[in-house]
Amino acid sequence: MFAVNFGEIGFLATVDREEAESGFRRAFAGDFEVLALPGIEASGQDGPWLAVNDLAMHRQPGKRVANLMYSVGADEVGRVHCDGLVVATPAGSTGYNLANGGPVMAWGVEGFVVSFIAPHSLNARALVVAPHDVLTVSNRSTEEPVDVSVDGRPVCVLPAGGQLEARFKPAQSHLAQLAGTTFYRRLRDKFGRLATAP
């Protein structure tokens, strides 16, 4: 993917809109480096689906808060009453996960992060899951379903008592980068400038 940012932040974009013309010349000339990015495979009663950025579960509008249990392997980690949760790749960690107060994961880190949307708890903390571990999220409500989306697109409704599994999948997409670009420089340039915007 050689992306031109025509939006706001464009964290995954290779060049900004002001550089589009020169960017296209570089793209067609093959003047870029390639970074392999992992994904998250989600499966349940439907699917599977592949997320490049994130898998999100939300309580439905007008319904009560979600009651979600999450486990890694055979171990239950916790139960949280919340508006939902986000499972994000390192590339996706600078999006919805970051807005939830979750950690930013540098590109090249293997694993994924789980963060909570408006948790009704003082103890809900984001969790980084190792790449070979399987995360299971269960809807522990007795009657309230939750909506599930992959990279911002609705994919299914998880009924009360239903569960989804998430797995780390290496090298699922390939991102073009200009020579000399680093994750940390991009982090500074994209998010540092927001703090100084009028």
* Tens-place pLDDT, residues 101-132: 999 998 889 999 999 999 998 888 999 999 99
Q: Give, in words, the CATH class of 37-170.
A: mainly beta
Range with lowest mean pLDDT among 70-74, 85-89, 135-139, 171-175:
171-175
103 close to 128: Cβ distance less than 8 angstroms: yes
Place of tokens 């390639």: 34
Task: State both tokens at 33.
Answer: 């480096």
Q: Which of the four pLDDT bands, split at 50, 70 and 90, describes residue 193?
A: low
- Would you tell me how many other CB atoms lie within 10 Å of the CB of residue 42? 24
Amino acid of residue 182: T
Tell me the pTM: 0.85
Where in the chain do CATH 2.60.200.30 domains reside? 37-170
Distance, in Å, from the CA atom of 133 to the CA atom of 136, rounded to the nearest integer, reads 10
* Cα gap 138→148, rounded to integer Å: 12
pLDDT in tens, 66-103: 999 999 999 999 999 999 999 999 999 988 999 999 99
Cα 178 to the chain's mean position, in Å? Answer: 23
- Mean pLDDT throughout 160-168? 94
